[in-house]
Amino acid sequence: MRFSKRKIAIIIGIPLSILFLYLAFRKVEFSKAVEILKTTNYVYLIPALLAFLCDFTLRAVRWNFLLMPIKKCRFINSLSTVFIGFFANNVLPMRAGEIIRAVMLGEKEKISKTSVVATLVVERILDMFALIILLMIAFFIFPFPDYIKKIWLIGLVILSIVLLLMYGLIFFQAFTLRIMDKFLHIFPKRLGDRIENMLKLFIQGLEIMKKSHYFFISFLLSIAIWLADAAVFFFVAKGMEIHQVGYMGAAFVMCVIALGISVPSSPGFIGVYEYFGILGCSVLGVDKSVALSFMLLTHVMQILAMSVMGTTFLAREHLSLIQLEREAEKES
């Protein structure tokens, strides 16, 4: 029996989501959780939503900077693709939104999809470094167990190695291609040529790393993106009167969730989001029932906001998710 990537993702992701949901809801006082939701000041969701929209607008601005060495793209195309891509991550398995972003922008701007994928890799690296810096600041404010600091250090070392390898690809391109040329002789010529061409296009997408001013601005934008995202959690916590979660506390919880959702799960990171959010809140001394309400409200708000923005831009582009998923399946 042949399994598609989609079926494999569902077989692995959904059971894991159910497991994390069970862990999130276990030993929760549901009456307390419901009471907190009833007494929440929902006016605070307005600035939370504005911060959420600011987050994704900044992502589109950063993406334009990363794409600059390849082509100066129209901002509206980047913005539309960002919202549609992240919306797709909420409803399709295997983070299909990342491939959809590459396919959509590549077709709209007439640039190589492989080069666009490379800019998305740079995005993820910048995001991880921004999160590591925010966690480092949090270490000076909150008392953390030593094992968390060790995990942080391991993550920093791995990211630094990946970054060095990427710089190696750019600055020693001729050497890399010579090594690849020797290795590719084991493949049929047509396949070898295709792999070599894809590597060249991928390296082209990393060109931003040679433009130090663009790269530095992109890094600053990454910090701003996650600070805006932290504001989402901060305002929701204010509305729920969770006093343990100040702004840096919100940033810490956000970092734990952002790192936690790398675990395979169902579309929308259901279960994983809640579990790791509660885990982050527990470090700050937030009661589990309160933390569950906090995570549920924040997650539902983000999913609804992204669904509205995603479907709005899909309508603007005269597209459907089914069309985009088919395109993504062809490319993956």
Residue 114 sits in which domain range? Answer: 16-331
User: Higher pLDDT residue, 33 or 129?
Assistant: 33
Please report whether residue 234 resides in a domain. Answer: yes
Q: Residue 193 carries which side chain, given as an amino acid letter?
A: D
Cα dihedral angle (98, 101, 102, 108), rounded to 10 degrees?
Answer: 170
Residue 2: pLDDT over 50: no
Q: Are 254 and 230 in contact (CB under 8 A)?
A: yes
| pTM metric for this prediction | 0.83
Instruction: State pLDDT tens for residues 48-78.
Output: 999 999 999 999 999 998 888 888 889 999 9
Please report whether residue 2 resides in a domain. Answer: no
CA dist., res. 13 & res. 265, Å (int): 4
Residue 140: pLDDT over 90: no
CA dist., res. 226 & res. 92, Å (int): 24
- Report how many domains make up the chain: 1
Please report whether residue 11 resides in a domain. Answer: no
- Return the percentage of the chain with pLDDT > 70, whole number: 80
Q: How far, in Å, are 9, 230, 294 from residue 48 at the CA level?
A: 31, 9, 13
Please report whether residue 221 resides in a domain. Answer: yes
pLDDT at residue 217, as a whole number: 87
Cα diameter, the chain: 67
Find all residues with CB under 8 Å of 297, minimum gap 6, and list them: 37, 40, 236, 240
Please report whether residue 184 resides in a domain. Answer: yes
Q: Residue 257 carries which side chain, given as an amino acid letter?
A: I
Please report whether residue 268 resides in a domain. Answer: yes
Q: Are 63 and 86 in contact (CB under 8 A)?
A: no
